[in-house]
Structure 1
Amino acid sequence: MSGRRVILWRHGQTAWNVERRFQGTTDIELTEAGRGQARRAARLLASLRPHAILASDLSRAVHTAAELARITDLDVTYDDALRETYAGVWQGLTHEEIIASYGDQYAAWKRGEPVRRGGGELETEVADRAAPVVLRHAEKLPEGGTLVVVSHGGTIRTTIGRLLGLEPRYWESLGGLSNCCWSVLGEGARGWRLLEHNAGTLPEPVLGDDD
């Protein structure tokens, strides 16, 4: 591969993001504000002339990707390997409820220890399923081509960590993505490099499973 780019784009806002409820694999729709975020971000990303769009099959990612597909005339390829981290009993709980009931588990996760949040997936397992799909589609790009991947905050962070070759305990240092913001990986002589992180128009708070 040579000079290719992968843009990892987080979906727009959902009601559970605003309520600070852990979504995980729960299929929550975009709010009207989220749809507006997707339309605005799609116009910016379209200017980068992407060659392909790959998306999670959860509706919040599907509807975000649709905005970019509409103005680029590209088809979207969906893959359930790009879904958010499954978090078992944490899903549907607010940030405060998780800390109240699973405080030790939450603290261990934030320290970078391998934790099955709510009895769900390890972050390394999320990377195991998501990163190979991203790489497989990136390999199909022409030289200098751009792939847009529409996914979820936690899945994007773990995928970036894996593609950069970082040890899992350091993935948290990448920080979260705000709704409808994106990160850009570029192909370098030694592999993938992080060119931009949590990019968008103006800074917005990170609301979601990865904050």
Structure 2
Amino acid sequence: MSANRVILVRHGRTTWNADARFQGQTDVPLDDVGVGQARRTADALYEQLVGTHVRIVSSDLSRAAQTARALATRLDLELHLDERLREMSYGRWEGRTRDEIMLAWPEEFQTWRGGGDVRITGGESRSEAAARGASTIVEAEKEMDGGTLVIVSHGGTLRGAILSLLDAPGLPVEGLRNAHWAELQNTDRGWRLSRYNVC
């Protein structure tokens, strides 16, 4: 038993995204632009998924849940929330801009920005968030008997989880943009990425 494919969607925009503030696990809802993005993403995915077997699992943070609910409503499906799909915890960085973080924690920020797997002050490391996201995706995917699993989550968690599933943790890949998605296939040769940053 497993899904035929997994579509991984990043939530729509929030005011903190617009201000370039680190959100992490702070619960910031979609702004008006994000609501529109969620609606457009739901419409686009509806065209691909209508009439097929679909399960939707989302982070319980409101920005992801709002994005997921737009698709669940369109497909008339139950939405499953899972706190393990929350964004990476940025600890004391949350609510701050890059400039503010650079001033307060210059060495830690430079290591993180360079791709280092540093545990952020009061938060978690990239590898911890990636492992959490990947294991949740695998668990949800194995519960399905064919069809498509849709995961709605956050940029850092999704990027890390995708690279973890592909066994390529150090690959320099840009994050998913707001309301964009990636598609994975679980084949007999392991996970394969078939699409990335689609909208």
Alignment of 1:104 onto 2:107:
yes
In 2: Cα distance, 1:113 partner to 1:179 partner = 24
How far the C-alpha of 1:186 sits from its partner, in A, is 1.1
* Residue aligned with 2:48, SS: coil
2:135 aligned partner, one-letter code: P
Q: 1:87-166, aligned counterparts within 5 Å? A: 87-143=90-146, 145-166=147-168
How far the C-alpha of 1:112 sits from its partner, in A, is 2.4
CA RMSD of aligned residues (A): 1.5
Alignment of 1:31 onto 2:31:
yes
Could you tell me which runs of 5 or more consecutive residues in structure 1 were left unpaired when the two chains were aligned: 201-211
The percentage of counterpart residues that share the same residue type is 44
TM-score by length of 2: 0.93
1:63 aligned partner, one-letter code: Q
Spell out, residue by residue over 1:125-158, the C-alpha distance to the aligned partner (whole angstroms, 9 max, x if none).
Answer: 1122221111111112223x11110000000011
Q: Where does residue 14 of structure 2 map in the other structure? A: 14
Q: Where does residue 41 of structure 1 map in the other structure? A: 41
Given the alignment, which residue of 51, 61, 64 partners 2:64?
61
Contact 1:57 1:80 in 2 (8 A): yes
1:149 aligned partner, one-letter code: I
1:6 aligned partner, one-letter code: V
Contact 2:42 2:71 in 1 (8 A): yes
1:71 aligned partner, one-letter code: R
* Residue aligned with 1:47, SS: helix
- Count of matched residue pairs: 196
In 1: Cα distance, 2:145 partner to 2:48 partner = 15
How far the C-alpha of 1:70 sits from its partner, in A, is 0.7
1:43 aligned partner, one-letter code: D
Could you tell me which runs of 5 or more consecutive residues in structure 2 were left unpaired when the two chains were aligned: none
TM-score by length of 1: 0.88
Q: Where does residue 195 of structure 2 map in the other structure? A: 196
* Residue aligned with 2:184, SS: strand
1:89 aligned partner, one-letter code: R
How far the C-alpha of 1:196 sits from its partner, in A, is 1.0
